[in-house]
Amino acid sequence: MPFPAPDPELALELLTAAQPTAPLFEEARRSRDEGKGRSVTYSRKVFIPVTTMCRDRCTYCTFAKPPGAGGVFLTPDEVMAVVRAGERHGCTEALFTLGDRPEDRWPAAREFLDRVGHESTLEYVRSLTEQVVDDSTLFPHANPGLMDRPTMAALRRSNPSMGLMLENISPRLMEPGMPHYECPDKDPAARMATIEAAGTLSVPFTTGVLIGIGETPREVVESIFALAAVHGRWGHLQEIIVQNFQPKADTRMRGIEPPSLQYFATIVAIIRWVFGPTMNVQVPPNLTEDFGIYLDAGINDWGGVSPLTIDWVNPEAPWPHLDRLRAVTEDAGFELRQRLPVYPEFLTERWIDPSMLPKLANVVDDRGYAVPVERATT
């Protein structure tokens, strides 16, 4: 008997164990195999933390730091030094991650931007990504927080893909005592507006959900279906990331119990069921020791993995060595393939700026996967 069509109430029953989940996992694997075959992808990247200053005060974050206590901007020379090292290690993606609009909170951020001649952090990011495109073999993937349409349109010329995690659709998480209190950039309506704007501009876009920060199962389901609705309007979501929250020792949420493996894997399977065979579903492999279990829940991507830089958002969780990533993937009966920051199905004139498309086409095979480049041995 075919598995039922996606339905929010059934999804909630599956997530709360009111319905048996074995058929869900079977459907997730079937759907993944139908759309993606037996290939699992990853992107070989460098992680560039443009600035660790931020105007938000998320209670689970160790990335953001105040000036004088680790809050800094990278200079253009520092960024390009990371990019050059990435070239030597065979990377194809430069992931730009940063705190949101730090100049609105910290005078030191405003002073830095004035010194480098930019009005805003987002304008500075645009300049950096343009330099990477012009002066290296890497491709930027900007993940700079909330963006309006003009900002995103400008970034589109130097970023074949961009991203913003929804995290969760519930405004309740912004109330006093909740993790997003005093975090204007975590307003779910504003985040959904950015995700929607990406669709109107035909930007291949990465988004997803963060699990374990105080949300309810119903709020998880509502988040998943909100993303499915915006994707239904534009078809621009290139991947859904499912990230499991890991408590950090030096944060106010250090005592929070992380989501159980079964609960989290069920969410992964629900996302595959809701989005169907064509969506790329990703779980970061550095946040679970036995990460191969997520192949049984319908994923087809491990995300960006760096042979060089740490995960600045989860610095306590090192990336698995690429040899281990390949072994786990192949032992489960899959082929591991390297991709660019933009997925193969989006390498068309509809989705990519015309100035960028020839450069991308030169570094992929006939299926759109990255062609491995020579790497340094030291």
Residues 6+ apart with CB under 8 A from 329: 40, 292, 295, 302, 335, 336
CATH superfamily, region 8-361 = Aldolase class I (3.20.20.70)
Strand partners, 48: 96
Residues of the chain with pLDDT under 50: 375-378
d(CA 150, CA 335) in angstroms, rounded, equals: 40
**Which pLDDT does position 373 carry in this prediction?**
66
pTM, rounded to two decimals = 0.95
Residue 376: how many other CB atoms lie within 10 Å? 11
What is the distance of C-alpha 148 from the center of its chain? 19
**Which pLDDT does position 361 carry in this prediction?**
96
Phi first, then psi, for residue 19 (nearest 5°) are -130, 145
**Which pLDDT does position 374 carry in this prediction?**
53
Q: How far is CA 117 from CA 22, 73, 81, 105, 134, in A?
A: 57, 14, 21, 19, 19
d(CA 86, CA 265) in angstroms, rounded, equals: 32
